[in-house]
Amino acid sequence: MTKSTNKIEPKVNALLIIDIQEKIIRPILNKDSITKNIKKLVSAYQILEENIFVSEQNPLKLGSTMPKLLPKAKFKRIEKMEFSLAKKKEFLKELEDKKITNLIVCGIETHICIQQTVLDCLQKGYDVILISDAMSSRNVVDHDIALKRMIQGGAFLTTTESIIFELCETANRKEFKEIREIIIS
């Protein structure tokens, strides 16, 4: 996404799936809707794009990413103890090596790991797109305030369906039929 047009540019995007682990998601508001949207996002993203990062917060205690939400294609899993994924040098190096400038973010919890990651990435010069219906917290107020804070910091807000169509760009694209099936499922 460029600052001047707010449009996503091809091949500089990365999807960040933050901490979608069983023990973390149990108390999350709207968890069924959130996981359904993340699954759609992951499925479509694998067809349209390539750079996917999956973070796991303290996986020894909190478990692994929910298997149904793991990408089937190649992705980078990053285990962390820090709340911000942007504190991991391996993550930042890979973004730099692949010349990624746009980060499409989903996961949990909005007000903790997502917010800290987003604010750090904004400070480092990345454009960040928040998928509002593919992230949540345990409390509505925490989720809502975190979204506002990240937007004030420069992040862009959108929805699962909107970002999928933006990445697809046209109904003439050969993958569109597959994308349409993901959207309506």
As a whole number of Å, the end-to-end CA separation of the chain is 28
CATH number of the domain encompassing residue 148: 3.40.50.850
| pLDDT for position 112 | 97
d(C-alpha 140, C-alpha 182), whole Å: 28
| pLDDT for position 185 | 82
DSSP H or E stretch at residue 38: helix 31-48
**Does a structural domain hold residue 99?**
yes
| pLDDT for position 29 | 85
**Does a structural domain hold residue 1?**
no
52-92: pLDDT as tens digits: 999 999 999 999 999 999 998 789 999 999 999 999 999 99
**Does a structural domain hold residue 107?**
yes
**Does a structural domain hold residue 8?**
no
Distances (CA, A) of 49 to 40, 121, 133, 150: 14, 20, 20, 24
DSSP H or E stretch at residue 63: none
pLDDT band, residue 11 (cuts 50/70/90): low
Instruction: Give the tokens for residue 46.
Output: 């694998």
- Report CA torsion sign: 107, 140, 182, 156: negative
> Mean pLDDT over all residues of the chain?
92
| pLDDT for position 74 | 87
| pLDDT for position 1 | 46
**Does a structural domain hold residue 2?**
no
Instruction: Give the tokens for residue 42.
Output: 């992951």
28-42: pLDDT as tens digits: 989 999 999 999 999
The number of folded domains in the chain is: 1
Query: Could you tell me the residue range of the domain that residue 136 belongs to?
Result: 13-184
CA angle, 3 then 130 then 46, to 5°:
100
**Does a structural domain hold residue 103?**
yes
169-183: pLDDT as tens digits: 889 999 999 999 999
Q: Are 6 and 156 in contact (CB under 8 A)?
A: yes
| pLDDT for position 2 | 46
Say which residue, 49 or 161, is predicted with more confidence. 161
**Does a structural domain hold residue 5?**
no
| pLDDT for position 166 | 93
d(C-alpha 28, C-alpha 144), whole Å: 14
Q: Are 104 and 116 in contact (CB under 8 A)?
A: no
Look up the pTM and report it: 0.92
**Does a structural domain hold residue 7?**
no
Three-class SS state of 132: strand
